[in-house]
Structure 1
Amino acid sequence: MEQNLSRKLVHIISGLLFVAAWPLFSASPEARYFASLAPFINGLRLVVNGLSLATDEGLLKSVTREGKPEELLRGPLYYVLILALSAIFFWRDSPVGLLLLAMMSGGDGIADIMGRKFGYVKLPYNQKKSWAGSISMFTFGFLISMGMLYYFSVLGYFQFDWNLTAQRVAVVSFVATVVESLPTAEQIDDNISVPLATMVTAYLCM
């Protein structure tokens, strides 16, 4: 349990701190590429350890479920690549990137923690997921997304009609939650499906 909690805290904190740091970069067109270097370097580290070219026990304990090096080449690697690509393609120009990372890092991460602790009642269509996890993902995904949008709007990057924005973010959060709850984990990792669903829905309604 402690290792799973540690893994998810890394998942939540690293992603949210990464996007929260975007305003610290300059207005230079190259700034997004400098920002993406950190997750790309982490990705290289994951590949090196995932292929057993090096061994970092601390890394294995903090980001893998079972402590196997090959796990680094799946969820954790997808995660850092999504961070980097979000910076490159969305940066401070589009709220889509903020929502994508808020749902993947915050919503999905908290869903796992709450699901493990309170997930006694499972979803009827997926016994590996729970109502507690899904409700937490929707709730915290929505709140963290709104918080990120507010943070960037206060700094002058975006202007929103907040009533309308809240409705749209609720739709995005709902779709991402439904996608995360589906029994498709063997086919596609949540670190791909959740940001992809968030991106498509946000493009359609934001």
Structure 2
Amino acid sequence: MVFNLLADNLAWLWDVIAMVIALVILLIVVKINGRIQKSGKLPTYVTRKIVHILVAPIFLLTWLLFTGTPVSRYIAMVVPLLFVVQFTAIGTGLMKDEDSVRSMSRSGDPKELLQGTLYYAIAIFAVTLFWFYIPKTGIAGGNPAAFVIIGCLAGGDGFADIIGRKFGGEKTFGIGGAKKTIAGALGMFLGSFIFSMGLIAIFSLEIASFNLVQL
């Protein structure tokens, strides 16, 4: 999006401001969720998935704050990169952050953040680097691939777990010992579809037509 409250030659500075805003918003989400988990109002598996479902889509929505210049993607990807560093530091014991551990671990063990949580942050970093919605060719070649990927990663995987646990029952299937349910599979499909189409619809207000294959 061509969104810049500064002069054109200071577009990079506005992107830095947008990056800071995005980082603060995501940290607030994690902190609030950690406090909810600590209060015991929701089970741990739900609070974990709340973060899983919300963080990536919210980050993508903050892309609307960036100027859309060629440098925007590189400044935006600092946000997930910082989370990669944070999760690595927490998981290896170099840093303590109880809210993050409560929000994103099953057992409260900081080392868990070196697994799925870290991979999640790396995935968002890769999506930002390779599929930022405004390619180097300009806004006319807008690419919705990131919204589909994140829709499946966040909405699909997140709702698959919650719905599968709630309505899946005892009958499971899967490969290599995985325990999946029909309800969970439907949750994956619906979550992926709703989140992907929702993100595309929001960004379509800016870009009327997307190219699914152009990077």
TM-score by length of 2: 0.70
Residue 180 (structure 2) pairs with residue 133 (structure 1): no
RMSD: 1.9
Worse-superposed segment, 118-127 or 16-25: 118-127
SS of the residue 1:21 aligns to: helix
Residue 157 (structure 1) shift? 5.8
Aligned in 2, Cα 1:72/1:39: closer, same or farther, shift over 3 Å?
A: same
Structure 2 unmatched ranges of 5 or more:
1-41, 134-141
Q: Give 1 or 2: higher helix fraction.
A: 1
* Structure 1 partner of 2:193: 142
CA distance in 2, matches of 1:70, 1:149: 35
How many equivalent pairs are there? 162
| Segments of 4+ moved more than 2 angstroms | 121-127, 157-160
SS of the residue 1:123 aligns to: coil
* Structure 2 partner of 1:21: 62
* Structure 1 partner of 2:202: 151
* Structure 1 partner of 2:167: 118
CA distance in 1, matches of 2:204, 2:167: 35
CA distance in 2, matches of 1:41, 1:157: 32
Residue 149 (structure 2) pairs with residue 100 (structure 1): yes
Residue 158 (structure 1) shift? 2.9
SS of the residue 1:129 aligns to: coil
CA distance in 2, matches of 1:6, 1:124: 25
Aligned in 2, Cα 1:155/1:50: closer, same or farther, shift over 3 Å?
A: same
One-letter code of the match for 1:158?
S
Which of 78, 83, 92 is equivalent to 1:51?
Answer: 92
CA distance in 1, matches of 2:126, 2:208: 19
One-letter code of the match for 1:22?
W
Residue 18 (structure 1) shift? 0.8
Residue 101 (structure 1) shift? 0.6
Structure 1 unmatched ranges of 5 or more:
161-201
Residue 111 (structure 1) shift? 0.9
Q: Which has the larger radius of gyration?
A: 2
One-letter code of the match for 1:82?
A
Residue 65 (structure 1) shift? 1.2
Within-5 A mapping of 1:1-206: 2-92=43-133, 93-125=142-174, 128-156=179-207, 158-159=209-210
2:56 touches 2:150 (CA, 8 Å); kept in 1?
A: yes
1:123 touches 1:129 (CA, 8 Å); kept in 2?
A: yes
SS of the residue 1:94 aligns to: coil
One-letter code of the match for 1:113?
I
2:155 touches 2:194 (CA, 8 Å); kept in 1?
A: no
Residue 55 (structure 1) shift? 2.1
CA distance in 2, matches of 1:85, 1:130: 30
CA distance in 1, matches of 2:151, 2:68: 23
Residue 123 (structure 1) shift? 3.1
